[in-house]
Structure 1
Amino acid sequence: MIPLRQQEFLDRVVPRIAAEERVTAVALSGSLAHGSPDAFSDVDLVLAVPDEQHAAVMADRLALIASWTDLAVGFTGEHVGEPRLIVTLVGPPVLHVDFTFLPESQFARVVGRLHPLYGADEVLALPPPVLEPAFDAQWIEDRFWVWVHYGATKLARGELFEALDTLAALRSLVLGPLASVRAGAEPRGVRRLESIAPEDAVALRATVAGYDRSEAAEALRASVALYRRWRPSGVTQRAEAEELATAFLHEAIA
């Protein structure tokens, strides 16, 4: 069930979006689509735009959003690798609302994982592109030991803020997704990991450190140990990189 504030926003805004002829479908993503929202949930809207008009709509996005709702501030989503995203605060009442503008061909690819609000049936009639895998264990293995080495260099230099950021990245990009997949859930960083995989979430506490060199060192060691324990079978292990990175980590700690 969608909380009242978010539902009132949708009731008010979706008809205005539907009146824009260049938007052919609207769907919900995030917790509102996955059935576990609460009063603090963001509203994640995914909009379909004809492929040939996508560039023009991308240029007009902030003006369009301001015409649909009371826009306090908005910015593009390059910080999360998604330039088609506009992150906003709207209100009053204040809400965090994400608007992602996709070409129809790409919307058709993902609409099965969304909750359609308007027009999706028409867009579904388009032939979808070939789906890419949502989780790639080899992608993780090919990068993990470089990231461990990077964290160890920050630890050795005494750059503890950088080391702590590396630990957070390892949880978000590697350990959280692995724990989610182990529990049969979609990998989404560490989102809702406490309820998705409670036992693994307890184990993940060992990778959290305060601003303390010895704590950060133990957290890096724990990250390596958890990855080795949770690494899926079937990946091509980068044994040489693993040996070099872990040896360097032990040297940095010493």
Structure 2
Amino acid sequence: MESLPKLHSTFIKSLIDLLNHDNRIDSLLGAGSMIHGGFDEYSDIDLIIVIKSEFYSDVMSKRKEFANSLNGLLSSFTGEHVGEPRLLICLYSVPELLHVDLKFVNIDHLNQGLIENPIILWTSQKSTVETILKESKIDWPNQSSQWFEDRAWIWLHYATAKVLRGELYEAIGMLAFFREKVLGPLIHRRLSRSQRGMRKIDFLDFNSKDTLLQTIATYSKQSIISSLKKCIELYIDLRQDQPPLSLIKGMPNILIDMIDS
């Protein structure tokens, strides 16, 4: 933790002090940027709190109280919107603002659905968490080529319909969604990286960077149409790396004809 910014390391140390007096907790694990690199003063803290099985229901029912037992909690909400109800997303002021994700996991289920290999920040004396992690399968949820193909043209058609109707804000939002769900992951795939949306794209070196920039639209119909065409162009380019088994034929021309009509 010595390599972390002072604000972050101080928070983690205060949490460990709390855990040392809580016999319900087995371990504290670090995830996110602590694993992938690039941790800096702007980083969130991604933490996994491993609960002894007999206390899991109790801790889960009181997880907001748990978060509030650390000084400086301003607000928190659970992570159903990302399909993870075990997650508590918190904003602290300690005294600077700090975003902390607390994921509460039953130790008996720790080896299920791991998408990254967390680091152990603290563990109780009788913990088996190190052995569990060593024996666990780590599987980042990368999507298949067919997954992208089945969705890309529906999303691009949605953006096309909205800009032609004059719903420019909705169309701009859809283009941002398309970058997050399709273009970003495929750029990561091209670079043999885990598909992490648009994360760290700014710092990567890839030959379609100029085209990606042109997918960002301003509030004008002409700009959105131009960006939409660049989304189509870039998707077709990235799709060639690992072509899907079943192409939705004719869609580029159909959308371009819609746009230009």
- 2:120 maps to which residue? 116
- 1:65 maps to which residue? 67
Give the distance between the partners of 1:29 and 1:220, measured in 2 at CA.
35
Provide Cα deviations, 1:213-242, integer angstroms capped at 9, x if missing partner. 1111111111111111111325223324xx
Give the distance between the partners of 1:236 and 1:52, measured in 2 at CA.
47
Q: Tell me how far 1:181 sits from its aligned partner.
A: 1.8
- Correspondence for 2:88 among 86, 89, 93: 86
Identical pairs, percent: 29
The answer to whether the Cα contact below 8 Å between 2:149 and 2:244 also exists between their aligned partners in 1 is yes
Give the distance between the partners of 2:138 and 2:169, measured in 1 at CA.
38
- Correspondence for 1:191 among 175, 194, 199: 199
* TM-score, length of structure 2 as denominator length: 0.85
Provide Cα deviations, 1:32-55, integer angstroms capped at 9, x if missing partner. 332211111111111223456544
- 1:235 maps to which residue? 244
The answer to whether the Cα contact below 8 Å between 2:111 and 2:137 also exists between their aligned partners in 1 is no
- 1:22 maps to which residue? 24
Provide Cα deviations, 1:93-117, integer angstroms capped at 9, x if missing partner. 2211111122334433428522221
CA-atom RMSD, angstroms?
A: 2.5
Once the two structures are superposed, the pairs formed by residues 5-20 of structure 1 within 5 Å of their partners are: 5-20=7-22
- 2:212 maps to which residue? 204
Give the distance between the partners of 1:195 and 1:206, measured in 2 at CA.
17
Amino acid at match of 2:217: A
Residue aligned with 2:91, SS: strand
- 2:257 maps to which residue? 250
- Correspondence for 1:104 among 99, 103, 107: 107
The answer to whether the Cα contact below 8 Å between 1:176 and 1:187 also exists between their aligned partners in 2 is yes
Provide Cα deviations, 1:192-216, integer angstroms capped at 9, x if missing partner. 1121335443331011001111111
Q: Which residues of structure 1 form unaligned runs of 5+? A: none
Q: How has the CA–CA distance of structure 1 residues 18 and 214 changed in structure 2, closer, same or farther, with 3 Å as cutoff?
A: farther
Residue aligned with 1:36, SS: coil
Relative to total residues, which structure has the larger helix share, 1 or 2?
Answer: 1
Matched length: 252
- 1:74 maps to which residue? 76
The answer to whether the Cα contact below 8 Å between 1:167 and 1:220 also exists between their aligned partners in 2 is yes
Give the distance between the partners of 2:84 and 2:59, measured in 1 at CA.
16
- 1:148 maps to which residue? 156
The answer to whether the Cα contact below 8 Å between 1:217 and 1:253 also exists between their aligned partners in 2 is no
The answer to whether the Cα contact below 8 Å between 2:60 and 2:104 also exists between their aligned partners in 1 is yes
- Correspondence for 2:42 among 29, 40, 43: 40
Amino acid at match of 1:223: C
